[in-house]
Every structure is written in C-alpha cells, then in structure tokens.
Amino acid sequence: MTEDVISLLTPEGELLQHPDYPLEVDHDLLRRLYRDIVLTRRQDIESTALQRTGELGLWCPVLGQEAAQVGAGHAMRPHDYGFTTYREVGLFHVRGVDPVELLHLYRGVSHASWDPRRVGLGLFTIVIGSHALHSVGYAMGIQRDGADEAVLSCFGDGATSTGDVHEAMVFAAAFNAPVVFFVQNNQWAISVPVDRQARAPLALRAAGYGMPAVRVDGNDVLASLAVTRAMLDRAREGAGPAFVEAVTYRRGPHTTSDDPTRYRDEDELSHWESLDPLDRLVRHMELVGALDADFIAAITAEADALGERLRSAIRGMEDPDPLGMFDHVYAEPHPQVQSDRAAMAAYLAAGEAS
C-alpha cells in the first residue's frame, strides 16, 4: 500500500474516478446517500438533546464521521454481517436499526437494542476491540457454511492498540477469513490523540499480518463506499481479509459526559469543519444537478418527523418491571437465578402489601 488517502470527491465536489475503485454514480445513489447522512445527523442531534434534557443517561455523538459509515453501510450486501462500536450511527441507520430501539440502551432499560438477525449487525460491545474477534469467528462460520457473504468489522483508532484487535488480525489472516476491518481513524480516543496509539499510519499495520490495506478519505462518502465495496467483494470471493483505514474526525465529544475543550484546540476543529462530509456531497450534487428544493424539503420533513418520533417515544418512557432483570441470564433454567428471582418477588410483594 501507499500512505496516500483515496478520495473520489474533491473539496469542491468534483467526482474523480479512481482506477482501482471504479464506482457508478447516478442521481438516485447520490440522493440515497444524502438522505442517509441527513437522517443520521438528525438522529445524532436529537439524541444529544434527549441526553441534555435528562431523558438519556448518555449518548455517543457521531458528528463528522457520517460519510465513512454511510458509505461502508452501502457497501454491504443484505446478507453480509457487521460488527460495530457504539458510534456507528450511520451504519445502524443504513442497516435499518430502529432509532428508538437504539436509545433503549442509553435510556437504561436494556443492554442492547435490536434483533441482530433482522439487521445483520451484531450487538455492539462496549469493551473496546472485543468484537473484532467475534467478527473473525463469524467469518470463519461463513467459510464453513460455504456462504457468499462477508463481514464488516468496525472499530476506531484507539481499539487498534488492544490485544483483541491484534489477535483478530492474526486469526483472520491465518484462516483467510472473509472479513474487512473498517477502522475509522477519528484522530482521538477520548482525550488521547492517535499518535499515542501509533507512530505510523494505522493501515501500515496490515502488512505485518499479510493483508492488503487502503487508506480512504472518511469524509468522502463515495470513496468510502467504493473502497469498502471492493474489499468486501474481494473477501466474498475468497481472497481473505483486508484493512480499510477511513481517515476522519470526531467533531463532537467522545460522549455527552466528555469535555473536548480540555484536550484539543479550536483550530483543529475548524479545519475539520471545513471538510464537512455533507457539504462535500452537497457541492457535488449541485454540480451535477442532483439536488432540488423539493427533494431537500422532503428529506427535511422526514428528519423533522424522525426527531418528533424520538422525542415522543423516549420522554416519559416507563421503567421496566424489576423482575425483568432476571430474564435470559441463561438459555436453560438455572436454580440460583430462579431462587434469587423468587426472593425479590416475595420482597416486592411484601412491600406492596404493607
């Protein structure tokens, strides 16, 4: 690989085809990408607002990374499978995760939010990097099933320092597993800059495992789509794992509990604001005449409706039945859970009776 970062859209919004990653681009595709980025951004803003008004315990903002994620989501086929971090809001949206269900976790009524079988995304893990291994195991299962499928394994620059991500790369290469590691290098792991994780581009690590790597402009939705699709196609065809480093930037805080003013300066933020992924797509759509006022109004109305739906579903959501905490600890009956449940039920009943 080279250290060059692949872009298809110039900052002015001109489309340049890349010889290795050709992409057919029509107005319909551009409009679908526009819609997905706008709705992801609205979901992010509304969820942050719900946290700020005390309706959610936490939220992990995605601002700045939407293009990387939406592009990767469009690169997946319906039967492909993804493993993500908590921040892949764009990918959740593209795969059809219900945005209300997603907030159940942040509301504190559930540890997880969606049915993995329906959306083809594993539940995200909160321990950093753990799911990289699950991705590889799942891909080994695809191999054994002889299925025409591949796995997209998303994590961030911080996770590349973990042992589990290293072991995931070793296993993926050893078994030639159909998995694409999609690393969003958003420059920061909470307050620690990427040069504390790696002193060379993250993608250079892939060579040591014997897998190809590409650096792609993560603020260019078309480049993210083209590169990730090529790597997933390659994995499905049996050519083995690959590594994509999407170079992007987390413009918001790590979570709503974070304060980035303590560790990064305004100039850096302004620089990345000038590289906004939605602005770049809009410039291209204006150049080719793919954006008109009616379309923008329709998507804005859809975003407004999404916001209204999130607010009305989350505000005042009832707490769960206390005995629900005993559900599904085991798949088969376990006497200890049963007796602890019975004890709590008796205690609660006695409290109600008195």
Q: Does the footprint of another protein cover residue 161 (CB under 8 A)? A: no
- Of the candidates 289, 282, 219, 295, the one whose C-alpha atom is nearest the C-alpha of residue 13 is 282
Q: Closest CB to another protein among 130 and 161? A: 130
Task: Name the active-site residue from 263, 271, 315, 347.
Answer: 263
- β-bridge mates for residue 215, sequence order: 5, 245
> CB count, 10 Å around CB of 101?
16
Q: Does the footprint of another protein cover residue 274 (CB under 8 A)? A: no
DSSP one-letter code for 124: P
Q: Closest CB to another protein among 8 and 142? A: 142
What is the C-alpha to C-alpha distance for residues 116 and 46, in angstroms, rounded to an integer? 24
Q: Does the footprint of another protein cover residue 27 (CB under 8 A)? A: no
Q: Does the footprint of another protein cover residue 136 (CB under 8 A)? A: yes
* 263 part of the active site: yes
Q: Does the footprint of another protein cover residue 125 (CB under 8 A)? A: yes
What is the C-alpha to C-alpha distance for residues 247 and 184, in angstroms, rounded to an integer? 6
What is the C-alpha to C-alpha distance for residues 41 and 76, in angstroms, rounded to an integer? 21
Q: Closest CB to another protein among 120 and 156? A: 120
Q: Does the footprint of another protein cover residue 210 (CB under 8 A)? A: no
What is the C-alpha to C-alpha distance for residues 196 and 188, in angstroms, rounded to an integer? 9
Q: Closest CB to another protein among 170 and 287? A: 170
Residues of this chain, 301-330, that bind another protein according to CB under 8 A: 327-330
Q: Where are the extended beta strands (E) located within the chain?
A: 5-6, 81-83, 151-156, 179-185, 188-189, 192-193, 213-217, 242-247
Q: Closest CB to another protein among 170 and 269? A: 170
Task: Name the active-site residue from 104, 215, 254, 284.
Answer: 254
What is the C-alpha to C-alpha distance for residues 248 and 61, in angstroms, rounded to an integer? 14
Task: Name the active-site residue from 107, 236, 250, 280.
Answer: 250
| From candidates 13, 15, 45, 110, binder to another protein by CB under 8 A | 110
19-27, 111-119, 265-273, 313-321 -> range binding another protein (CB under 8 A) = 111-119
> CB count, 10 Å around CB of 265?
9
Binding site for another protein (CB under 8 A): 110-112, 115-117, 122-123, 125, 127, 130, 132-145, 163-164, 167-168, 170-171, 174, 327-332, 334-337
